[in-house]
Structure 1
């Protein structure tokens, strides 16, 4: 029989192990370990399977969210490109409108300047005509005045005209002065 030594001392021979009980205990221990390992294995397996399903569901949800975010991102990119095109179009239209308005206002200013120049020329012509008219009137007035004085002088010296004729000449002279 084999002996199991617990201590390396004097009591070595005092203890002997019953191999049948030892074998039975080892078998019982192995069975218990197998049962425990089996139940623990099943529990761990079930836990791992649940974790696997949870992770799979989380990945699916994440993939779905990524797809949704990608769709939204593409929509936003498309909207942004449309807005950029709209803004560039609006900018071009505003620029073209500005150029057209600028041309219109420059033409209006040119027309107004031409009208002002024409008006200035008309005013100058009118002032020249008025000045000439005033000069002619003044010359005529002086001429008639001198003529009237000479006529009066002649009439006073002459005895051929009557008083009535003298007053008619004076009256006609005054009417012409008006």
Structure 2
């Protein structure tokens, strides 16, 4: 094996040239030894190389199978996600329709409540106006009564003298006695 290694080194490296060169002298490169080494390498290396290639092939096939399984799993998950999306969209549509219906009902309820409140306010306003009118009428009646009494008192004071005063008192006393006698007879 030492010879083979030495031959390969001498093939690649030429010390007198100071670098890498190819030696074209057939006798110096030991072609026969090289052919034997290459033959042995090919014979024994063929099994190793085919094992490496088979292993690589198995790894590639396993990777492809795993990728196909992952792709199938991803496809299944995508279909499930699409089904969930359709369900969510359906539910969102129902919620939207229910929301619109609820908004419409609430709007109608609000309009009805506002209408009822307006009617109550109108009734309250009319009642307040009626009560205020009654109060004003009563005030006017009181003022008219007061003024009539004051005018009657002024008239009486201006026309009443002692003699008329005494006659009025006697007249009323007589009326009271007559009412007493009528009441006594009824009892």
- Same fold by TM-score greater than 0.5: yes
- For the aligned pair, the TM-score class normalised by the smaller chain equals 0.5 to 0.7
- Listed as ranges, the gaps of 5+ residues in structure 2 are 1-21, 178-187
Report the equivalent of 1:91.
Answer: 103
CA distance in 2, matches of 1:57, 1:50: 10
Please tell me the root mean square deviation across aligned C-alpha atoms, in Å: 3.7
TM-score of the aligned structures, taking structure 2 as reference length: 0.61
CA shift, 1:71, in A, is 2.5
Question: Where do 1:1-178 residues align within 5 Å?
Answer: 7-8=23-24, 22=35, 27-142=39-154, 149-150=160-161, 152-154=162-164, 168=173
CA shift, 1:26, in A, is 5.2
Secondary structure at the counterpart of residue 103 of structure 1: helix
CA shift, 1:139, in A, is 4.1
Change (3 A) 1:60 1:154: closer
TM-score of the aligned structures, taking structure 1 as reference length: 0.64
CA distance in 2, matches of 1:14, 1:51: 49
1:55-91: per-residue Cα shift (whole Å, max 9, x none)? 1221122122222322232232223222222322222
- Give the number of equivalent residue pairs: 154
CA distance in 1, matches of 2:121, 2:52: 98
CA distance in 1, matches of 2:143, 2:45: 138
Change (3 A) 1:75 1:135: same
CA shift, 1:101, in A, is 1.7
Change (3 A) 1:30 1:49: same
- Listed as ranges, the gaps of 5+ residues in structure 1 are 1-5, 173-178
